[in-house]
């Protein structure tokens, strides 16, 4: 999977109140932002709220952005912090998430299997494992990049990622699903 390549100039242009740059950034990153928020919060409404708040914060913080070569890491750090703040404040709903938004609504067998794998991942993985799998699967981030975003050692990311895949595989096998 290829890493989502985001042009840092979009953020720099946003700092100059370039509305077209903000729209382009939103179009390129909203799915990843939502998916990452969903992996932490496990609730559609909370993930939507965080996504909204994240884009407001991204726009407001664009003037302080320092180009680092990885603008997506900067964006996802904002999303992660907003999610953690929401959890700490006790503002997270407890309803189960709807997976259609992440996996699509097509009924072809590959999409149905993807949806089943995603649902399994959301249910059997702990919060950090979900974040790691979503970041790797949806954005193609390398493990060292995920380590930077989550502020964890790369070795920890690798072991948690492998453990998460084993959990998903085991759960899928128990359901009689082969990939």
CA 92-43-50 angle, 5° bins:
70
Complete DSSP assignment for the chain:
-------HHHHHHHHTT-HHHHHHHHHHHHHHHHHHHHHHH--HHHHHHHHHHHHHHHHHHGGG----S-HHHHHHHHHHHHHHHHHHTT----SPPPSHHHH-S--SHHHHHHHHHHHHHHHHS-HHHHHHHHIIIII---HHHHHHHHT--HHHHHHHHHHHHHHHHHHHHHTT---
pLDDT at position 100 is: 44
pLDDT at position 95 is: 52
- Is there a contact between 34 and 41 (Cβ–Cβ < 8 Å)? no
pLDDT at position 69 is: 75
- Is there a contact between 83 and 34 (Cβ–Cβ < 8 Å)? no
pLDDT at position 123 is: 80
pLDDT at position 39 is: 85
pLDDT at position 112 is: 61
pLDDT at position 168 is: 85
pLDDT at position 173 is: 84
**Topology given in CATH for the domain delimited by 8-174:** Rna Polymerase Sigma Factor; Chain: A (1.10.1740)
Which parts of the chain sit beneath pLDDT 50?
1-3, 96-106, 109
pLDDT at position 122 is: 75
């Amino acid at each position: 999977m290829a890493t989502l390549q985001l042009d840092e100039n979009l953020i720099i242009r946003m700092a100059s109140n370039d509305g077209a740059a903000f729209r382009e950034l939103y179009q390129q990153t909203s799915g990843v932002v939502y998916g990452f928020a969903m992996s932490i919060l496990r609730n559609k409404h909370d993930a939507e709220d965080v996504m909204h708040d994240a884009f407001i914060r991204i726009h407001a913080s664009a003037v302080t952005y320092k180009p680092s070569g990885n603008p997506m890491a900067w964006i996802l750090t904002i999303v992660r912090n907003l999610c953690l703040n929401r959890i700490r404040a006790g503002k997270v709903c407890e309803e189960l998430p709807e997976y259609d938004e992440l996996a699509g609504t097509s009924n072809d067998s590959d999409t149905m299997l993807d949806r089943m794998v995603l649902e399994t991942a959301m249910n059997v993985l702990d919060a950090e494992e979900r974040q790691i799998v979503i970041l790797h699967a949806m954005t193609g981030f390398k493990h060292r990049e995920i380590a930077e975003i989550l502020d964890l050692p790369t070795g920890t990311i690798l072991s948690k990622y492998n453990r998460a895949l084993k959990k998903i595989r085991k759960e899928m096998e128990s359901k009689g699903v082969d990939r």
